[in-house]
Amino acid sequence: MAPERITILGGGLAGSEAAWQAARRGVEVDLYEMRPQVPTPAHQTAMLGELVCSNSLKSDRENTAPWLLKEELRRAGSLLLEVARQCAVPAGQALAVDRGRFAAGITEAIEQASLIRVHREEMREIPADSIVVVATGPLTSDALANSIQTLTGSERLFFYDSISPIVDADTIDASKVFSASRYGKGIQASETKQVGDRSSGENAAEAAEGDYLNCPLGEEEYQRFYDALLTAESVLPHHFEDLNYFEGCLPIEELARRGRDTLRFGPMKPVGLRDPRSGKLPHAVVQLRRENLRIDSYNLVGFQNHLKFGEQKRILRLIPGLESAEFLRYGQIHRNTYINAPLLLAPTLQLRSQPRIFFAGQICGVEGYVESMATGLMAGIHGACLALAGDTPVSPPRATACGSLCHYITHADTLNYQPANMAFDLLPPLCAATPANRDKKQRHALQCQIALGKFDQWLAAQQKVPALAGPFRA
Ligand SMILES: Cc1cc2nc3c(=O)[nH]c(=O)nc-3n(C[C@H](O)[C@H](O)[C@H](O)COP(=O)(O)OP(=O)(O)OC[C@H]3O[C@@H](n4cnc5c(N)ncnc54)[C@H](O)[C@@H]3O)c2cc1C
């Protein structure tokens, strides 16, 4: 008997990965993506797997929590991670990608996969007659959000988040900024030269070393910037305090309200960024991360905000090096949609009340690109397990990054639930207190070793995976 088909709602990070994983296992997939017919407030193309803000997939340094998650994805044959590696841009010890090439690579692979049929259509309801993966993300369309709300009986499905501005590289004053990664952990300009090959040759990033451009502020410049920020006009001045923000992505004006030095200990912290011209640490720093391989634009790291556009232009131009900056995108506020996962989901990402419905990506209560990819990967594997043999899927063990993420979202406090990024504190603590695991680095290395061992065992117990034809054959 042919396996059941799987219907996937949303062709973003989670939905694309889920589709790929199910198809790899021989299951036919109907993937519904509403763009370009119905746009979202953040996506700019019709491509699958589009990154809506930063181009960073976080640290790639061995034995860090974000690395562990990516390593598990790599071992499980993640399409998106493979594409990311193929279009990586230099970003110190982080994995950052050329977002255009990333989305194009995913779109091509998915559209060419013979078992995946892509439908460009908004799904307004969850289909009743199929195994379904809901992966419509933080910007789920209103109609579907209402239908999910009815299905799950959720009172509240939204909170608020914000995105950073992007500046045109040619409008940065190269004489005022310096190029460096924190603690010199980047790679040298000579190694990255081929990617900064702009015809003008005047791009500030080509001039010096390190992957980030840094705008140094002296004490007076910082105070002036801070005062201007505090009095700037916001888009939503009257609702400010009512908005339910995600703590990990607070707008800078909101952080500034917490104290004069909060920004200097947050997104503007100067530690590890000595200005090569003065040999000193600046009072504060604004870091700019390259957006793509062409190095024609930079993201202001951690500068998400929802000030009025005119105000952003005025205030950001107070930053040394950005006096004449042209902004390609301003910071914005956006809605974030997610279900109360600890109340509703099993660790296999199945709706407890209707196990044929899976949730993956941001909507299932994780936060972040790679976390969305990871839950997409698991939903694809679990969905295929159900479709192929009617088997009960088994979540990866809690000691793995993927398993700990699912454990957190399904066991956290249900009151005021906040989505999670991958972090070591999601993993179970090591039992034995040896001198070695009292050292943080060694402890993390050991946790990673245990996690990967258990993840390999779990993977081996999943169905044998036939290779799919196409450029991203696992
Ligand atoms: C503005 C913004 C900025 C963010 N910035 C970052 C960041 O810098 N770093 C980070 O790690 N995370 C960031 N996130 C959080 C999160 O990691 C990303 O949103 C990520 O893309 C989530 O992946 P996803 O697959 O869950 O959703 P998405 O990638 O958004 O994919 C969901 C897809 O579903 C489609 N869709 C929606 N409704 C329907 C429907 N009814 N029918 C059919 N299709 C539908 C959408 O068009 C979209 O393509 C940001 C989120 C937002 C909204």
Kindly report the CATH number assigned to the domain that includes residue 203.
Answer: 2.40.30.260
Asked whether residue 1 is domain-assigned, the answer is: no
Q: What is the spatial distance between Cα 76 and Cα 398, in angstroms, rounded to a whole number?
A: 16
Q: What is the spatial distance between Cα 329 and Cα 386, in angstroms, rounded to a whole number?
A: 43
Kindly state if the Cβ of 16 falls inside 6 Å of ligand 1.
no
**For a substitution probing ligand 1, which of 38, 53, 166 has the most ligand atoms within 8 Å of its CB?**
53
* Residue 93 CA to ligand 1 centre (angstroms): 24
Tell me: do 78 and 59 sit in the same domain: yes
Q: Are 204 and 169 in contact (CB under 8 A)?
A: yes
Asked whether residue 470 is domain-assigned, the answer is: no
Tell me: do 179 and 325 sit in the same domain: yes
Rg of the Cα atoms in the chain? 22
316, 332, 348: which is the final residue of a domain?
Answer: 332
Tell me: do 181 and 301 sit in the same domain: yes
Asked whether residue 243 is domain-assigned, the answer is: yes
**For a substitution probing ligand 1, which of 34, 83, 246, 366 has the most ligand atoms within 8 Å of its CB?**
34
Tell me: do 326 and 359 sit in the same domain: no
Tell me: do 138 and 287 sit in the same domain: no
Tell me: do 83 and 141 sit in the same domain: yes
**For a substitution probing ligand 1, which of 13, 45, 245 has the most ligand atoms within 8 Å of its CB?**
13
User: What's residue 473's pLDDT?
Assistant: 43
Tell me: do 362 and 217 sit in the same domain: no
- Global confidence as pTM: 0.75
User: What's residue 164's pLDDT?
Assistant: 87
What residue type is 361 in one-letter code?
Answer: G
Which residue segment(s) compose the domain that 365 sits in? Answer: 6-156+339-461
Name the closest-CA residue to atom 11, ligand 1: 368
User: What's residue 396's pLDDT?
Assistant: 97
Ligand 1 atom with the shortest distance to the CA of 10 = 34
Tell me: do 226 and 119 sit in the same domain: no
Asked whether residue 471 is domain-assigned, the answer is: no
Asked whether residue 472 is domain-assigned, the answer is: no
Asked whether residue 247 is domain-assigned, the answer is: yes
User: What's residue 105's pLDDT?
Assistant: 97
Asked whether residue 473 is domain-assigned, the answer is: no
Kindly state if the Cβ of 138 falls inside 6 Å of ligand 1.
yes
Retrieve residue 80's tokens: 């998106």
How many structural domains compose the chain? 2
User: What's residue 433's pLDDT?
Assistant: 62
Kindly state if the Cβ of 141 falls inside 6 Å of ligand 1.
yes
Asked whether residue 469 is domain-assigned, the answer is: no
Tell me: do 189 and 87 sit in the same domain: no
Q: What is the spatial distance between Cα 3 and Cα 6, in angstroms, rounded to a whole number?
A: 9
User: What's residue 398's pLDDT?
Assistant: 96
Tell me: do 80 and 191 sit in the same domain: no
* Residue 294 CA to ligand 1 centre (angstroms): 24
276, 304, 332: which is the final residue of a domain?
Answer: 332
**Tens digits of residue pLDDT in 325-358:** 999 889 887 778 999 999 999 999 999 999 999 9
Q: What is the spatial distance between Cα 71 and Cα 402, in angstroms, rounded to a whole number?
A: 10
* Residue 346 CA to ligand 1 centre (angstroms): 22
Tell me: do 258 and 170 sit in the same domain: yes
Kindly state if the Cβ of 102 falls inside 6 Å of ligand 1.
no
In the block, tokens 């993420």 appear at 405
Ligand 1 atom with the shortest distance to the CA of 144 = 41
Tell me: do 365 and 253 sit in the same domain: no
Ligand 1 atom with the shortest distance to the CA of 370 = 11
Ligand 1 atom with the shortest distance to the CA of 136 = 34
358 φ/ψ angles, rounded to the nearest 5 degrees:
-110, 150
332, 352, 370: which is the final residue of a domain?
Answer: 332
Residue ranges of the chain whose pLDDT lies below 50:
186-209, 237-241, 469-471, 473-474
CA distances from 237 to 93, 242, 248 (A): 38, 10, 21
Kindly report the CATH number assigned to the domain that includes residue 43.
Answer: 3.50.50.60
